[in-house]
Amino acid sequence: MRIEVLKSKIHRVKVTEANLHYIGSITIDENLMDAANLIENEKVQVLNIDNGERLETYVIRGTRGSGMICLNGPAARKVSVGDTVIVISYASMDFEEAKQYKPTVIFPKEDNTL
């Protein structure tokens, strides 16, 4: 049996931009991506702590060290600049393997740095 488990989590980052007229996705500072073990084009859930919205999209690499968290395309309607979000990805694995798996969870500072 295979199950989905938490793979990566960026816990509580601030939205720095919302760009309605860009191809849909979330742009994330490459430092945060590396620390959270996320890769470009990976599917993620974005949970907005401020308004309760939840959405799925994919990751685009942002400028390293910028602190950028930018929701693009239709997702830009689900956030406001300054909102606090959680970014989560999941992995599918064998049930027994999942029992031993340890996800990568990071807790950035208020300015979206590590």
Residues labelled as active-site residues: 25, 58
d(CA 114, CA 105): 12
DSSP state, 22?
S
Tell me how far apart the alpha carbons of residues 38 and 21 are, in angstroms, rounded to a whole number. Answer: 24
Bridge partners (DSSP) of residue 11 are none
Whether 36 and 106 have beta carbons less than 8 Å apart is answered as yes
Count CB neighbours of 111 within 10 A.
9
